[in-house]
Structure 1
Amino acid sequence: MSDTDNPTTTETVLVAGSHGQVGQHVTKQLAEREREGYHVRAMVRKDSQVDEMESMGAAVEAVVADLTDSVEHAVDGCNAIIFAAGSGGEDVYGVDRDGAIRLVDAAADEGIGRFVMLSSMGTDDPKSGPEPLQDYLIAKAEADEYLRKSDLSHTIVRPGELTTAPGTGEIRVGTDFELGNGDIPREDVASVLVRVLEYDRLTGETFELLSGDDSIDGALGSLAEAGPDAV
């Protein structure tokens, strides 16, 4: 999508988990790009969260929907979805897995053009992760696999440990699942999720993400050029 004052098209992006820590960054960044044609549908679980999300800008409309229930009305009319929702460890199978699957199904029924999934490092081998996180990693891995088997144009982003530090705009990506341990600010993760929407050549890609020395566009551009078989 080009940066113009009067875009000829509007891209409506549903942000699942918009009230969460990563989701708020995603919503804000998309809202700031309204002049590029972005419109944000911020999915929240509570009526009390609507005003807070819509205060982020004129490009933001909030919709109340629960991932454990019907989500079709939230998806209706959208062009893309960024899944940044999470249960916080309280209901990993009900939200992180089944909720994601429910949204994938709704997206497929609606004919959504793009689905970007926020996942996690460690989902390639959940049983090797710390025991307290294994159920979460299993749930995320099963959601990722369901998305992969769908007909949706998708990208799966697997960051390391998330921090509250300010974003630096510098990252490191890899598809061989050998980046090692590390962390990354949530703000940078959000920036990657948003930018992925503009890289059609990352469709079908799953990649890990940590803080690094490359610019976001530089890292994503190199990954896109390398193609889905890059290691």
Structure 2
Amino acid sequence: MKVAVIGANGKIGTHVVEQLQQEQKHDVVAIVRKQEQLDAWQQKDVQARLVDLEDPVGNIAKAMADIDAIIFTAGSGADTGSDKTLLVDLDGAVKAMAAASAAGTQRFVLVSALQAHRRESWNEDLKAYYVAKHFADNELMRSDLDWTIVRPGGLTDESGSNKVQLAKDLSSGTIPRKDVASILVRCLDTPKTIGKHFDALEGNTEVDKAVAEV
């Protein structure tokens, strides 16, 4: 498959691109917003394309014309306001879904947030973020795409143990970004994850086994 990683310059996205490149099972395309980011990936022999999620759906769809699967890891970042959160984490994600449908890209793996499906569990200090994730998830579940939604807990930059716990309802906890990336990559090759959504935390089960048992 040719896999587009939207948000390839982010911390999770970078791990996803690197893992796909190392495994060489799929062709990976890094989707980024800035020319210097594109240049940096190309210097590492990774295909890269410029896409701005605030552009019209048609522009995004053109960049997806030959793509078989999308892993959406983009986010507005902690330093932006609620307006950017809604424009990127919600509207950007929904535009990417519409672009995938228009381009004939069927597989779509989305990064959400722990317990985004349960309003009563939302962190009040991050309410706009959870609103964005909640409704983006719902739009994906209503789509005709072959979707998977991964809801990681608090993200850390630890090296990762490749051991996780995956379930529909998990309490608060953390998970290294590298392990989140491993989950996303494994979902691509695990058809039974299609139509599934689940929380993800660090745990005691190898990623391959945990994803296979979702």
Sort the TM-score into its range (normalised by shorter chain).
over 0.9
- Does the alignment pair 1:50 with 2:42? no
Contact 2:153/2:199 (8 A) holds in 1: yes
Structure 1 segment 5-154 matched on structure 2, within 5 A? 11-34=1-24, 36=25, 38-57=26-45, 60-69=46-55, 70-89=59-78, 90=80, 91-126=84-119, 128-154=121-147
Contact 1:14/1:74 (8 A) holds in 2: no
Deviation, structure 1 residue 125: 2.3
Amino acid at match of 1:42: A
- C-alpha change, 1:187 and 1:67, in structure 2 (3 Å) is same
- Does the alignment pair 1:164 with 2:157? yes
Deviation, structure 1 residue 48: 1.0
Higher gyration radius (CA)? 1
- C-alpha change, 1:148 and 1:30, in structure 2 (3 Å) is same
Name the residue aligned to 1:194: 185
1:71 match: secondary structure: helix
Q: Normalising by the residue count of structure 2, what TM-score does the alignment of the two structures yield?
A: 0.93
Q: Output the CA distance in 1 between the equivalents of 2:179 and 2:63.
A: 26
Q: Output the CA distance in 2 between the equivalents of 1:196 and 1:55.
A: 28
Structure 1, unmatched stretches of 5+, are 1-10, 224-231
Contact 2:86/2:132 (8 A) holds in 1: yes
- What's the % identity of the aligned pairs? 40
Amino acid at match of 1:214: T
Q: Deviations over 1:81-101 (max 9, x none)?
A: 000000014211100000000
Q: Output the CA distance in 2 between the equivalents of 1:148 and 1:169.
A: 27
Deviation, structure 1 residue 126: 3.5
Contact 1:127/1:134 (8 A) holds in 2: no
Q: Normalising by the residue count of structure 1, what TM-score does the alignment of the two structures yield?
A: 0.87
Structure 2, unmatched stretches of 5+, are none
1:87 match: secondary structure: coil
Contact 2:115/2:199 (8 A) holds in 1: no
Bigger helix share: 2
Deviation, structure 1 residue 55: 3.0
- C-alpha change, 1:207 and 1:33, in structure 2 (3 Å) is same
Deviation, structure 1 residue 56: 3.2
* Structure 1 consecutive aligned stretches of length 4 or more whose deviation exceeds 6 Å: none
Contact 1:28/1:56 (8 A) holds in 2: no
Amino acid at match of 1:76: A
The correspondence for 1:206, drawn from 183, 197, 203, is 197
